[in-house]
């Protein structure tokens, strides 16, 4: 393709699109409204803690093939760390019982036959029910597809699905849950190893991408908020950023990699997900005690996942809309009490910070799933990317990178 691909939005969808196109030797221009790249996946310096923290702890799995490919393209594969074998530590806060979930590496799930690999108190046959998600009817909820009660639900499926879908799982889309299951646990433990950006999201996903783009002469324009897309019949003929308008030549293409709510404002008649769910993170400035697992799943507590970074302990709570207006000090104190119990750290609450992301992901219900548009639009030179487009996955890093790659392929096809 001889023209320039204008990519609007430097979150992971826009960056992955730019990186793929740059690898192919295409001309790229990248625009971002904020002063920094990363969107909903970013690191920043927090003055209260005097630390660089992430807007939210992000968990990936080894079966996230696009995310790993992107990591390799930007030379940051080693920035994601995790155990060599699939292993998840859990704590039942109410009973103090701890266990490790240890699916075996291969696709044949023989691990369910070993009590020390599965959830305590469950039997091998209990695990069969979740298999129904793999064959779920389009439009069905998880609640309509599998049993959403009992010990295995409470201690495994609910917490896992809540973190993957960021919504109360019983009302979530069964096909989205099935897609996650198919690519991870059902693909064997090798596809299900937890991966964490231990040095921060910026270090793993953003800064190396910007360096790579810069090395190829691509300098993102920050502070460039797209205000208007100028349409001319079947194509886009201009992009207006404030007072500045860029003419789009016939050989150029546009990839709109902005969040759903921005895309809806910019494109007339575009149907997108319009219901979102929050995620809340609490960061405590304290070194984890020796032996603290990188990731601890907590059930029976307000805290859901406890991440152990070198300089902080950090808790993630998904589907956290109910907590958005909770008094911050009370919330931090309650969560610290849980973290102190979970880690055995018997000290006063260390410096803390709460980060709320109100529109962290679209609500992964069947109704919202039905509102996700494809990457192709009715305008032949305009393509969409973002975790909210029809990726077949929930709003995740994997989904946003796949959407970026897809838009890159479409944008370089002859039209």
Binding mask 340-379 for ligand FAD (x = CB under 6 A): -----------------x--xx------------------
Position 41 contacts ligand FAD (CB under 6 A): yes
Given a contact cutoff of 8 angstroms between Cβ atoms, the answer to whether 103 and 111 are in contact is yes
Among 278, 281, 304, 275, smallest CA distance to 364 is for: 275
Task: Find out whether 311 and 353 touch, Cβ atoms under 8 Å.
Answer: no
Which residue in the set 314, 353, 377, 396 belongs to the binding site for ligand FAD (CB under 6 A)?
396
Q: Is 71 among the residues that bind ligand FAD (CB under 6 A)?
A: no
Show the site string, 260-289: x = touches ligand FAD by CB under 6 A, - = not.
--x----------------x-x--------
Nearest CA to 230 out of 214, 211, 244, 220 is that of 244
Widest CA span in the chain: 67
Which one, 14 or 109, has the nearer CB to ligand FAD?
Answer: 14
Q: How many CB atoms lie within 10 A of CB 399?
A: 27
Query: Phi first, then psi: what are they for 39, rounded to 5°?
Result: 55, -120
Contact predicate 170/364, CB 8 Å: no
Q: Kindly state whether residue 406 participates in binding ligand FAD, applying the rule CB under 6 A.
A: no
Alpha-carbon distance 61 to 42, whole Å? 19
Which of 395, 407, 408, 410 binds ligand FAD (CB under 6 A)? It is 395
* Per-residue binder mask for ligand FAD (CB under 6 A), 195-234, x = binder: ------------------------------xx--------
Please select the residue that binds ligand FAD; options are 397, 408, 410, 411, rule is CB under 6 A: 397
In DSSP notation, 177-203 reads HHHHHHHTGGG-GGG--EEEETT-HII
Q: Which is nearer to ligand FAD, 146 or 256 (CB)?
A: 256
Determine which residue in the list 19, 26, 30, 32 makes contact with ligand FAD, applying CB under 6 A.
Answer: 32
User: Residues 133 to 162: which contact ligand FAD by CB under 6 A?
Assistant: none
Q: Give the separation between CA 310 and CA 283, rounded to whole angstroms.
A: 12
* Binding residues vs ligand FAD (CB under 6 A): 8-14, 31-34, 39-41, 55-56, 58-60, 225-226, 257-259, 262, 279, 281, 357, 360-361, 386-387, 395-398, 400
């Amino acid at each position: 393709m001889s023209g320039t691909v204008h990519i609007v939005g430097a979150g992971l969808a826009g960056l992955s699109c730019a990186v793929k196109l740059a690898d192919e030797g295409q001309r790229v221009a990248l625009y971002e409204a904020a002063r920094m790249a990363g969107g909903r996946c970013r690191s920043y310096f927090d003055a209260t803690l005097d630390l660089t923290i992430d807007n939210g702890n992000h968990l990936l799995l080894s079966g996230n093939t696009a995310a790993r490919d992107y990591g390799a393209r930007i030379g940051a594969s080693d920035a994601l760390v995790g155990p060599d074998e699939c292993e998840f530590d859990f704590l039942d806060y109410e009973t103090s019982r701890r266990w490790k979930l240890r699916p075996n590496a291969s696709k044949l799930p023989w691990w369910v036959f070993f009590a020390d690999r599965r959830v305590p108190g469950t039997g091998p046959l209990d695990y069969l029910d979740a298999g129904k998600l793999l064959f779920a009817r389009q439009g069905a909820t998880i609640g309509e597809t599998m049993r959403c009660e009992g010990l295995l639900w409470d201690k495994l499926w609910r917490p896992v699905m809540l973190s993957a879908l960021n919504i109360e799982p019983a009302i979530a889309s069964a096909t989205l849950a099935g897609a996650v299951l198919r690519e991870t646990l059902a693909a064997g433990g090798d596809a299900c190893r937890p991966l964490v950006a231990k040095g921060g999201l910026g270090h793993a996903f953003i800064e190396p991408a910007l360096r790579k783009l810069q090395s190829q002469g691509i300098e993102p324009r920050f502070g460039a908020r797209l205000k208007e897309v100028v349409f001319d019949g079947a194509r886009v003929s201009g992009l207006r950023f404030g007072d500045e308008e860029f003419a789009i030549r016939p050989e150029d293409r546009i990839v709109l990699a902005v969040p759903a709510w921005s895309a809806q404002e910019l494109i007339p008649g575009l149907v997108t997900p319009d219901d979102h769910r929050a995620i809340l993170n609490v960061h405590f400035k304290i070194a984890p005690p020796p032996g603290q697992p990188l990731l601890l799943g907590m059930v029976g507590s307000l805290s859901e996942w406890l991440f152990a970074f070198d300089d902080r302990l950090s808790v993630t709570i998904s589907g956290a809309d109910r907590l958005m207006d909770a008094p911050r000090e009370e919330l931090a104190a309650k969560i610290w009490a849980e973290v102190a119990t979970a880690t055995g750290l018997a000290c006063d609450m260390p410096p803390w910070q709460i980060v709320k992301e109100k529109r962290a992901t679209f609500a992964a219900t069947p109704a919202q799933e039905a509102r996700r548009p494809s990457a192709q639009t009715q305008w032949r030179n305009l393509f969409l990317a973002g975790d909210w487009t029809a990726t077949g996955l929930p709003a995740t890093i994997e989904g946003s990178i796949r959407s970026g790659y897809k838009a890159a392929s479409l944008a370089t096809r002859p039209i």
